[in-house]
Chains A and B, each alone.
Chain A
């Protein structure tokens, strides 16, 4: 008889299910007793926050889709119908609309944390690659979602962004026609974007599952960037990190609620309150804030094809980041020079974001070129070279030794805390 699971659960119903399909044992193993480094700071909340955010987006999105019409004649009015006539429709819509911004905020912080603490390094390269795939899927989903209300910025944003593909020689115009389903952004475009906007989040769920599965094979990185060596270095995920994540979720929900209830259109564009009109081009076509840095990279060079390549390259470079960074030390805490350069990367991205919001004139051209230069310099030159030149600070012997000092591990046995560490 091939492998019935021997379940330890006392409850007979749970035991019966668990014997046949050990999901309860799996949850217990992966989220109950799962050994987690004991030294996480609050930056380690953001993965859980992103997960919560995705669930919120799917939940609100399903109900919005029940009332939305993917038709160029009706789309804009159907959104107003949701806002005015559907019970709590305004709440669903504002949560979904601001949820997109919140999703990018928590994801960008999550990525920045990974960059600072070297979470992409061996053995977590594949975990990181899944993460970059998630980012790309999120961007595609958000872009198509923004088209659905069929406002002026929806329409013209869709026109500008899809047209980027036409820069590629020969195949470019064919791709654009395929995306549009015709020869301009029109009914077929809106219909397929709606279909894909509903599909991609579930693809996202699948890739996130792989992301988390890979995480649970390698185990989490931690602020010290050193490997877990003994049980003293870890705490069971529950209750320690379930409660710590709960604190983060509450704070995140406060920020989310303030946006939704008191400034629901703060991050939006007034032009999207005007129905799409193919005959009237808005004075400024600006993407949503979370795309501004990439938009600035696109416009930083006068050549369209090069701009498009740089823009896609700015994401694609992240795929090979684990092999660009040659330093054996993960956490920036022990990399005195990398630690100085890291804020420059953040600043360059923020400056690029500001450049993306302005017309490419005067100082903004110079700044966007500087920002673009530094972004690529950081990944393509600095990280490979720095790993060879930089002298890392001495690493602590173990997580428990660094966190608990001489006090030992509380109720846990403290004998094995002083094993010598191997370099990661």
Chain B
């Protein structure tokens, strides 16, 4: 029987074509940490408790410099907050609320429909306040870096003293994972930086894991719905493939 083999050939060609993408890599090969993330497996979801702790880390530490301009407080339902909690969380942030009747800009407590508070009014102000380096927006940061969650985790945990003979420029810090190893962001997290309300030990690794989980959710908020739909779609299509193949056999029975 020739046909299934031909089909397999087609699939192989597809794989060959897809190959080069994975071969795309940075110049210098910096080994990234290889953490286990629940959301990376085909069917895996988010550890919601971890994502919520990650939101706490973001709010108390990262948000001092980094915006997340594509997120609204209402989106936090995706990490398991209910409507009341979201309202309460949003109200703790002061954000611009447009113009009043006299045409003057007003500020006030954020609503669930408000965007996440940005720490600086614009990129220039952010750059000026941060030693000439613009803190990138974190809405998509996990998707925007080669290595994804392991890269972000690696940067957060990659601070240390430079190896002997490596000079670090004024105003920069040594980081094992950051390209070029000199980063302008001071070490943001250390053991005990954030105090968790749920009693989880606040080690550096734990805080970094939590905030990466939160950031992965922030970049891919549709993931859980997407994978659930994918399971149904693929099962349906496998069933349809079987059905059409059987019908095909029957139709062709008199033609061979």
The answer to whether A and B assemble together is yes
Instruction: Point out residues on A near B: beta carbons under 8 Å.
Output: 38, 41-43, 46, 77, 80, 83-84, 90-91, 94, 105, 108-109, 112, 235, 239-240, 243-244, 246-248, 250-251, 253-255, 257-258, 260-262, 264-267, 269-271, 273-274, 283-284, 286, 289-290, 292, 346, 350, 353-354, 356-359, 403-404, 410-411
B241 near A257 with CB under 8 A, answer no
A283 near B75 with CB under 8 A, answer no
Chain B residues with CB under 8 Å of A411's CB are: 254
A-B contact pairs, 18 of them (CB 8 A): A38-B255, A46-B10, A77-B69, A84-B75, A90-B222, A94-B226, A239-B251, A244-B252, A246-B247, A261-B226, A261-B230, A261-B231, A271-B144, A273-B140, A274-B136, A283-B26, A358-B24, A403-B256
B139 near A80 with CB under 8 A, answer yes
Report B231-256 residues with CB < 8 Å from chain A CB.
Answer: 231, 233-234, 237-238, 240-241, 244-245, 247-248, 251-252, 254-256
Instruction: Point out residues on B near A: beta carbons under 8 Å.
Output: 2-4, 6-7, 10-11, 13-14, 16-21, 23-24, 26-27, 42, 69-71, 75, 136, 139-140, 143-146, 148, 179, 219, 221-222, 226-227, 229-231, 233-234, 237-238, 240-241, 244-245, 247-248, 251-252, 254-256
Known A271-B144, A289-B20; judge A235-B70 contact (CB<8 A).
no
Closest residue of chain A to B253 (Cβ to Cβ) is A410
Nearest-CB distance from B82 to chain A (Å)?
A: 20
Task: Specify which of A239, A251, A284, A354 is in contact with B20 (CB 8 Å cutoff).
Answer: A354
Known A240-B251, A257-B230; judge A350-B24 contact (CB<8 A).
no
Closest residue of chain B to A410 (Cβ to Cβ) is B254
Chain A residues with CB under 8 Å of B252's CB are: 240, 243-244
Chain B residues with CB under 8 Å of A284's CB are: 24
B27 near A265 with CB under 8 A, answer no
Taken together as a complex, chains A and B put the C-alpha atoms of A13 and B240 apart, in Å, by 33
B16 near A350 with CB under 8 A, answer yes
B226 near A90 with CB under 8 A, answer yes
Taken together as a complex, chains A and B put the C-alpha atoms of A283 and B256 apart, in Å, by 57
Taken together as a complex, chains A and B put the C-alpha atoms of A113 and B6 apart, in Å, by 11
B238 near A254 with CB under 8 A, answer yes
Taken together as a complex, chains A and B put the C-alpha atoms of A251 and B4 apart, in Å, by 11
Task: Specify which of B11, B24, B229 is in contact with A255 (CB 8 Å cutoff).
Answer: B11
Nearest-CB distance from B251 to chain A (Å)?
A: 5
B248 near A91 with CB under 8 A, answer no
B18 near A255 with CB under 8 A, answer no
Nearest-CB distance from A33 to chain B (Å)?
A: 15
Nearest-CB distance from A61 to chain B (Å)?
A: 19
Nearest-CB distance from A197 to chain B (Å)?
A: 23
Known A246-B244, A247-B245; judge A235-B255 contact (CB<8 A).
yes
B248 near A289 with CB under 8 A, answer no
A253 near B237 with CB under 8 A, answer yes
Known A91-B229, A254-B237, A292-B20; judge A243-B143 contact (CB<8 A).
no
Known A105-B17, A261-B234; judge A42-B3 contact (CB<8 A).
yes
Nearest-CB distance from A264 to chain B (Å)?
A: 7
Chain B residues with CB under 8 Å of A274's CB are: 136, 140, 144
B19 near A354 with CB under 8 A, answer yes
How many pairs of residues, A versus B, come closer than 8 Å at their CB atoms?
Answer: 142
Nearest-CB distance from A208 to chain B (Å)?
A: 21
Nearest-CB distance from A157 to chain B (Å)?
A: 14
Closest residue of chain B to A40 (Cβ to Cβ) is B3
Closest residue of chain A to B140 (Cβ to Cβ) is A273
Nearest-CB distance from A236 to chain B (Å)?
A: 10
Task: Specify which of B24, B70, B75, B234 is in contact with A286 (CB 8 Å cutoff).
Answer: B24
Known A109-B13, A257-B230; judge A240-B255 contact (CB<8 A).
yes
B13 near A250 with CB under 8 A, answer no
Task: Specify which of A247, A270, A354 is in contact with B143 (CB 8 Å cutoff).
Answer: A270
Nearest-CB distance from B252 to chain A (Å)?
A: 7
B226 near A264 with CB under 8 A, answer yes
Task: Specify which of B23, B140, B143 is in contact with A358 (CB 8 Å cutoff).
Answer: B23
Task: Specify which of A90, A109, A350, A359 is in contact with B10 (CB 8 Å cutoff).
Answer: A109
B227 near A262 with CB under 8 A, answer yes
Taken together as a complex, chains A and B put the C-alpha atoms of A353 and B22 apart, in Å, by 12
Taken together as a complex, chains A and B put the C-alpha atoms of A269 and B10 apart, in Å, by 25
Beyond the given A257-B233, A357-B20, please list 4 additional residue pairs across the A-B interface where CB-CB is below 8 A.
A108-B13, A244-B252, A247-B245, A358-B23
B229 near A42 with CB under 8 A, answer no
Nearest-CB distance from A252 to chain B (Å)?
A: 9
Nearest-CB distance from B77 to chain A (Å)?
A: 12
Chain B residues with CB under 8 Å of A239's CB are: 251
Known A43-B6, A356-B20; judge A83-B144 contact (CB<8 A).
no
Nearest-CB distance from A34 to chain B (Å)?
A: 15
Chain B residues with CB under 8 Å of A105's CB are: 13-14, 17
Nearest-CB distance from A42 to chain B (Å)?
A: 5
A251 near B241 with CB under 8 A, answer yes
Known A105-B17, A235-B255, A354-B19; judge A254-B145 contact (CB<8 A).
no
Taken together as a complex, chains A and B put the C-alpha atoms of A354 and B33 apart, in Å, by 26
B244 near A250 with CB under 8 A, answer yes
A250 near B237 with CB under 8 A, answer yes
B20 near A270 with CB under 8 A, answer no
Taken together as a complex, chains A and B put the C-alpha atoms of A83 and B71 apart, in Å, by 11
Taken together as a complex, chains A and B put the C-alpha atoms of A174 and B27 apart, in Å, by 36
Chain B residues with CB under 8 Å of A266's CB are: 18, 21
Chain A residues with CB under 8 Å of B222's CB are: 83-84, 90
B251 near A261 with CB under 8 A, answer no
A265 near B233 with CB under 8 A, answer no
Task: Specify which of A77, A243, A273, A289 is in contact with B251 (CB 8 Å cutoff).
Answer: A243
Nearest-CB distance from A64 to chain B (Å)?
A: 15
Closest residue of chain B to A266 (Cβ to Cβ) is B21
Chain A residues with CB under 8 Å of B229's CB are: 91, 261
Closest residue of chain A to B239 (Cβ to Cβ) is A250
Nearest-CB distance from B145 to chain A (Å)?
A: 6
Taken together as a complex, chains A and B put the C-alpha atoms of A261 and B10 apart, in Å, by 21
Known A84-B70, A247-B241; judge A283-B23 contact (CB<8 A).
no
Closest residue of chain A to B218 (Cβ to Cβ) is A84
